Structure 1
Amino acid sequence: MKPFAYRALMAGAALLVATAATAQTTGAPAPDPDAEAKSITAQTRKMGGVMPAEQLALSFEHLDLALKVFPDEKRIEGDATLTLRAKEAVPELILDLYPKFRIVSIALNGRVVPPADYTNPEGQLRIKLRRPLAKGSVTKVRIVWSGTPPLAKRPPWEGGTTWTKTPDGQTWIDTSHWGGGCDLLYPCIDHPTGKTKIADLHYTVPAPLVAPGSGKFMGMTEKDGWRTYNWRARSPHTYGLVLDVGPYKLLEGEYKSRFGNTIPMRFWYLPGEEEKAAELFREFPVALDFFESQIGPYPWADQKMGVIRVPYSGLENQTLNGYSIDYTKTMYGFDPLMHHEFSHEWFANQLSVANYDDLWLHEGIGSYMQPLLGRYLYGDMDYYALLKSQRAGIRNEKPLVSGEERPENWVYADPTGPRGDIYPKGSWVMHTLRNLIGDEAFYEVIRRVTYGRPDPMPGNFEPQFGTSKGFMATVNQVTGSNYDWFFNIYLYRAGLPKLVETRDEDRLSLRWETPDNLPFPMPVDIRIDEETVTLEMTDGTGVVENVPAAATVTLDPEAKILRQLDSIDRFQAWRATQPDQGRRR
């Protein structure tokens, strides 16, 4: 999600070739004429967190969503029918919808609801019921609305709709729902567990514009100068359904999977980008082969692997990953943004967090896929180079996980949470765990938490909801050992363990210094000249005898462990003093 992994990769490349950054002077920002349209209520900005019990008692069975787009007016007309099943008795129907939309009508099971029976002042749409919804009952609520969706404030970090032009001056529209959620565009349950099982999407746009969508293409009709594109998506994430409109051209292909099925590959790009688009498209089968060989079956093979050109950095729209960054080339031989967003088809869309407090499961595992991809393509040098660039970005200001129900912004955007650490620190947690428990156990853990089983095959798994506690339990189950001590440090404490070394003549002593003095029996490799020994450190300490005073001693020579390092601290302190105008995003 978003381009942190890209920034880390480029920062790593920049470390190899030092350049002088020149400070630039800029004036005060010009007034923003669209400031009002970018303003949203705290309720609309909120994704996840503590939700009303009435809302969480609903199972979202089906979404039928029709949007008609008027580009010149920056306006949409929407018509959505939500099919909801009550898991418990529900006294009041509560949904989420941007409050500045004009609600034209609401109907429950065909009965028109009078305006006096619903309110939506802050974006929490409350609909009175004649009687509570009975447990197990199914209700269809149809909502018709219109208006201008909130403009994207800072996409993809602060979501909304972007109305812009392509380089050749044609209409180009994009929505990004991260940092706001699905209610920026249509009525929904804006909680990670509130995704619908099936979504039928109907996007009507002026001809000859194109409106790609998530899921499987169900056909296009054209009448009276309007085109309607129809799509069907299975289990889309609450921020994974978006509206994209433009003069798109399409690259198509098929991938023959090692699992015996065929996966459609689709790339919607802009006119004039044919050559660059063709180069990126050649990476699609490489990405599929990497993930299917290392992790397991592509979860959405019945729909497509889809990528779409967008005017901001990128986002993991389900089966329609947003891509920009102008077709970057790196020394690692793959496009970092495309591959990072594609990782989210597994770690966000197939394995979705049940609580945004556990967002590192999306971003940390997804970020670790890039070093693994480097190793898959070119070997260990690229693996460690990518890891090193990530390591330089870990801040350790807050724990990765708080243990509470939290909205997205408390984790991703605000100083209350780990923010960017969910990417590189999450990746290094995965790297350290893999070295600790071994490849066989590590990949079985990943498959179990991602697919819900150790032996995924096309058609035998369902989308999963994941938690940090569930991940920990799976590690313990697969290994037959208790590794809670590992996660208590890396997930629930901000600071890193420090390996303290002391020498007494030919005796080398090591001990782990940890936040809150928590136990940390992490084994440590030590290279003494050309010989490597392993200290088990079962009580957090270890001793090596007969170490010659002139010997060269290297702790953790293969960098298996995420730990505090003075060299990293000094580098980060220096970098904080440098002008950043020369850095790419």
Structure 2
Amino acid sequence: MRSQRLIAGLSALALLHGLAPSAWGQRQPAPPVTDPADPRFLTAQTRKMGGPMPAEQMALTFEKLDLTLKVFPSEKRIEGIAALDLSSRRALDTLVLDFFPKFAIDQITLDGEPIPADHYANPEGQLRIDLPRPLARDTRITVRIAYRGTPPLAKRPPWEGGTTWTTTPDGKYPWIDTSLWGGGCDMLYPCLDHPTLKPARSELHYIVPEGLMAPGNGHLVSAETRDGWTTWNWSARSVHTYGSVLNVGPYKVKKGDYQSRFGNTIPMRFYYLPGEESQADALFAEFPRTLDFWESVIGPYPWSDQKMGVIRVPFSGLENQTLNGYSDEYPKTPFGWDWLVNHEFSHEWFANQLSVANYDDLWLHEGLGSYAQPLLAEFYGGRIDYMAQLKGQRAAIRNDQPLVSGRNRDEKAVYSDPTGPRGDIYQKGSWVAHSLRQLIGDDAFFESIRRLVYGRPDPRPGNFTPQFGTTQGFVKIVNTVTGKDYGWFFDVYLYQAAVPRILVTRTQDKAVLRWDVPGDLPFPMPLDVRVGDRIVTLPMTDGSGEVTADRDTHVLPDPYSKILVQSDAIVAYQQWKAQQAKSGQSID
């Protein structure tokens, strides 16, 4: 009987951990490809997203992208024409763009004037164009680039970006997916691969063999078939530099409209494969519920003039703007909603509407996006589902590196390199949000989130624009909303790797509690303590407090798990799991 209970307990723990799947678990980087002849090879420049950029690039504003891509599935190649409308904030002699160096450039024109081939070069993926005449400040230009070739193949799609050329499960049709995470927009078209330099408007034209569909960002303008080819025309705004798509397949479409509480109508679209009708029906039924949660708890859907879109792809999901990738084979969980759809959909707010200005602050995308899953669980299942999600996330926090360094960093330095926080931007970021909410209360927390996401506390359709957020900007918002200085909270949780520990010392008639804080930083975090059958709240203003309790009285700090604290039990669990994996064993 004891062994049966043990097995049941371990199975429950494994199930619990699996109920809050980690997007980071799927996004772990693939081994590097060092052979330039390998179709998965990326130069360091092309692999780089964000971080320090040439001054010539940071002086530009990307007004509009007009992109035409003709796709040849059997040859695994594309032909492209990209017209970039750019304006300069200072005088320039050279135009610098990010662009995959293996694409062959057929022609470059500047405001219609051809640029001689010896006036541009792109050896490593940073295309430098010598301008025929200096570009004056506050001047708008159009650079047009005609190119062709095979985009880089994804190493570990979609988390190490590139294009995947495959066929549908029945083997009858081409099925193409391009994911730009872990490489950025320059793997597909010339661009400015920095989060603050996304185009204000994108006109997208995908030409594919007749019988195939090419869903895109934004809203569908038209589809035209001629001479065996169909052109799918899309119009989008403010598409994130890694949020563009190139997806091709024999898609079918489920369509519907959501009547928003804000008085507008949101188109809903699910692009799925033939033969998946019943699964698609069930998943599509979640779309209105998902929108209801987000608009009730956070605020209006930012892209209501475009669509809520999801598309079936050959590999795991990705937050393509207004067209989130989905491929989890329609799983079910006891929570009653699809975790992958909801995590990727969270990025319509935390990545696409609110984009970080510096990838050093990537926890704002992934941590707040991950906290949306406990919030959704609470919205539909109550407190038990909320805490179950948080417990699963807590078991994955490593505390190896601080969430934020305070430096200008590219995505790889945060997400892939061991010097960065990597997976903690998800689970630890979520727990930082949870602890902050418990500290300042629901009203202040959600107002702070709305101000961060929308730039104002009272968002309604049409009264807000996309935002660029920073960690320090969020700290200022929280301080403004609460009227208090919570810098100490963020200093400890974001800029230190370790988290606070609660130390308890018992005497004959009392328990003394003290915060043990990394770097001995101030941490006046109030602490609930269960003393027998009552709850005592200690102010802990000087980092310590005490309660009256004899030695026979049970004392439990933080009984409602409001605070992210060091857990020896979780460290031991992580070490045990690592050993099990090393030995080839599993409890799952």
Match of 1:289, as an amino acid? D
Match of 1:101, as an amino acid? F
Which runs of 5 or more structure 1 residues have no equivalent in the other structure? Answer: 1-9, 18-28
Q: Which residue does the alignment assign to 1:99?
A: 101
Distance 1:197 1:292 in 2: 24
Q: Which residue does the alignment assign to 2:436?
A: 433
Q: Which residue does the alignment assign to 2:271?
A: 268
Q: Which residue does the alignment assign to 2:187?
A: 184
Q: Which residue does the alignment assign to 2:58?
A: 56
Give 3-state SS (helix, strand or coil) of 2:39's partner. Answer: helix
Distance 2:426 2:166 in 1: 30
Find the partner of 1:359 among 357, 362, 378: 362
Q: Which residue does the alignment assign to 1:463?
A: 466
TM-superposed deviation, 1:130 = 2.4
Summarize deviations over 1:463-482 as a string: whole Å, max 9, x none: 00000010111111111101
- The aligned runs of 1:140-159 (5 Å cut-off) are 140-159=142-161
Match of 1:339, as an amino acid? N
TM-superposed deviation, 1:197 = 0.2
Find the partner of 1:253 among 253, 256, 260: 256
Match of 2:552, as an amino acid? A
Q: Which residue does the alignment assign to 2:324?
A: 321
Distance 2:218 2:37 in 1: 33
Summarize deviations over 1:543-571 as a string: whole Å, max 9, x none: 11x31221121110000000101111111
Q: Which residue does the alignment assign to 1:300?
A: 303
**Relative to 1, partners in 2 of residues 1:15 and 1:231: Cα closer, same or farther, differing over 3 Å?**
closer
TM-superposed deviation, 1:583 = 7.2
Contact 1:12 1:386 in 2 (8 A): no
Find the partner of 1:391 among 390, 394, 400: 394
Q: Which residue does the alignment assign to 2:526?
A: 523
**Relative to 1, partners in 2 of residues 1:310 and 1:33: Cα closer, same or farther, differing over 3 Å?**
farther
**Relative to 1, partners in 2 of residues 1:442 and 1:270: Cα closer, same or farther, differing over 3 Å?**
same
Give 3-state SS (helix, strand or coil) of 2:423's partner. Answer: helix
Q: Which residue does the alignment assign to 1:213?
A: 216
**Relative to 1, partners in 2 of residues 1:100 and 1:410: Cα closer, same or farther, differing over 3 Å?**
same
Give the paired residue count.
Answer: 563
Contact 1:61 1:197 in 2 (8 A): yes
TM-superposed deviation, 1:579 = 2.2
Summarize deviations over 1:165-200 as a string: whole Å, max 9, x none: 111111000000000000000000001111000000
**Relative to 1, partners in 2 of residues 1:162 and 1:32: Cα closer, same or farther, differing over 3 Å?**
farther
Q: Which residue does the alignment assign to 1:491?
A: 494
Give 3-state SS (helix, strand or coil) of 2:351's partner. Answer: helix
Calculate percent identity across the aligned residue pairs.
62
Distance 1:89 1:503 in 2: 69
Match of 1:87, as an amino acid? R
Match of 2:559, as an amino acid? P
Distance 1:338 1:584 in 2: 27
TM-score by length of 1: 0.94
Q: Which residue does the alignment assign to 2:340?
A: 337
TM-superposed deviation, 1:517 = 0.6
TM-superposed deviation, 1:132 = 2.4
**Relative to 1, partners in 2 of residues 1:584 and 1:120: Cα closer, same or farther, differing over 3 Å?**
farther
Find the partner of 2:81 among 79, 85, 105: 79
Contact 1:12 1:388 in 2 (8 A): no
Summarize deviations over 1:497-554 as a string: whole Å, max 9, x none: 111110121121111111111111101000111110100000111111x312211211
Distance 2:363 2:17 in 1: 26
Distance 2:256 2:204 in 1: 23
Summarize deviations over 1:342-397 as a string: whole Å, max 9, x none: 00000000000000000000000000000010010010000000000000000000
Find the partner of 2:457 among 437, 445, 454: 454
Distance 1:235 1:12 in 2: 41
Match of 1:277, as an amino acid? A
Match of 2:157, as an amino acid? P
Match of 2:389, as an amino acid? L
- More displaced 10-residue stretch of structure 1: 32-41 or 477-486: 32-41
Distance 2:453 2:586 in 1: 35
Q: Are 1:68 and 2:70 counterparts?
A: yes
Distance 1:515 1:315 in 2: 35
Contact 2:157 2:179 in 1 (8 A): yes
Contact 2:34 2:41 in 1 (8 A): no
Match of 1:416, as an amino acid? T
Match of 2:86, as an amino acid? L
Distance 1:305 1:212 in 2: 13
Q: Are 1:282 and 2:285 counterparts?
A: yes
Q: Which residue does the alignment assign to 1:165?
A: 167
Distance 1:92 1:509 in 2: 66
Match of 2:576, as an amino acid? W
- More displaced 10-residue stretch of structure 1: 89-98 or 458-467: 89-98
Match of 1:150, as an amino acid? P
Distance 2:534 2:13 in 1: 34
Distance 1:464 1:11 in 2: 39
TM-superposed deviation, 1:11 = 7.8
Contact 1:368 1:427 in 2 (8 A): yes
**Relative to 1, partners in 2 of residues 1:15 and 1:183: Cα closer, same or farther, differing over 3 Å?**
closer
**Relative to 1, partners in 2 of residues 1:481 and 1:65: Cα closer, same or farther, differing over 3 Å?**
same
TM-superposed deviation, 1:155 = 1.2
Q: Which has the higher contact order (CA 8 A, sep 6+)?
A: 1
TM-superposed deviation, 1:32 = 13
TM-score by length of 2: 0.94
Q: Which residue does the alignment assign to 1:423?
A: 426
- The aligned runs of 1:427-576 (5 Å cut-off) are 427-544=430-547, 546-576=548-578
Q: Which residue does the alignment assign to 1:20?
A: none
- More displaced 10-residue stretch of structure 1: 547-556 or 256-265: 547-556
Contact 1:164 1:171 in 2 (8 A): yes
Distance 2:98 2:105 in 1: 13
Give 3-state SS (helix, strand or coil) of 2:349's partner. Answer: helix
- More displaced 10-residue stretch of structure 1: 328-337 or 343-352: 328-337
Distance 1:89 1:363 in 2: 37
**Relative to 1, partners in 2 of residues 1:288 and 1:52: Cα closer, same or farther, differing over 3 Å?**
same
**Relative to 1, partners in 2 of residues 1:373 and 1:582: Cα closer, same or farther, differing over 3 Å?**
farther
Distance 1:190 1:33 in 2: 24
**Relative to 1, partners in 2 of residues 1:11 and 1:408: Cα closer, same or farther, differing over 3 Å?**
farther
Give 3-state SS (helix, strand or coil) of 1:509's partner. Answer: strand
**Relative to 1, partners in 2 of residues 1:538 and 1:33: Cα closer, same or farther, differing over 3 Å?**
closer
Q: Are 1:232 and 2:232 counterparts?
A: no
TM-superposed deviation, 1:134 = 1.3
Contact 2:35 2:41 in 1 (8 A): no
Distance 2:439 2:154 in 1: 43
Distance 2:555 2:374 in 1: 27
- More displaced 10-residue stretch of structure 1: 145-154 or 507-516: 507-516
Which runs of 5 or more structure 2 residues have no equivalent in the other structure? Answer: 1-11, 20-30
Contact 2:500 2:517 in 1 (8 A): yes
Q: Which runs of 4+ in 1 moved over 4 A?
A: 14-17, 31-35, 580-585
Give 3-state SS (helix, strand or coil) of 2:196's partner. Answer: helix
Distance 1:38 1:181 in 2: 14
